[in-house]
Amino acid sequence: ALPAEKAVVCFGSMFIELPKEKTREMLRQDQEELDEEINNLRKELRLKVNRLYEAQGKPELKGFNLNPMSAEEMKLINRILEG
C-alpha cells in the first residue's frame, strides 16, 4: 500500500511514485495547456471555415463564432435549472 501522500503516475511505459500535491499540480498544468491548445484550434477552424465559405461564394455561417460555456458557467446553469 502507498503512503497517503503518494500517487503512482504512468509516464509512457513507466510507473513513478510521486507526491500527490506534485501530481495534482502536473495534471492542472497539463489541463491548462490542453485547454489553451483546444481554444487556439477552435479559433483557427473558424477562420478556415469562413475563408472556405468566402471562396465558395457562400455567406458567412451564422452563430459559428459562438464560444462554449466554461465549466463554471455550466455549474451555474445547472444550479439554476435544478431550482
Q: Indicate the domain borders of the chain.
A: 21-61
Q: What is the mean pLDDT of the segment spanning 3-7?
A: 84
Q: How confident is the model at residue 1 (pLDDT cuts 50, 70, 90)?
A: low
Q: For 13-53, what is each residue's pLDDT tens digit? A: 999 999 999 999 999 999 999 999 998 998 899 889 889 99
Report how far apart the first and last C-alpha atoms of the chain are (Å, whole number). 43
For residue 65, pLDDT beyond 70: yes
Nearby residues of 64 by Cβ (< 8 Å), 6 or more positions away = 46, 49, 50
- In this structure, the dihedral spanned by the alpha carbons of residues 76, 31, 4 and 11, taken in order and rounded to 10 degrees, is 160
| Residue 63, pLDDT score | 77
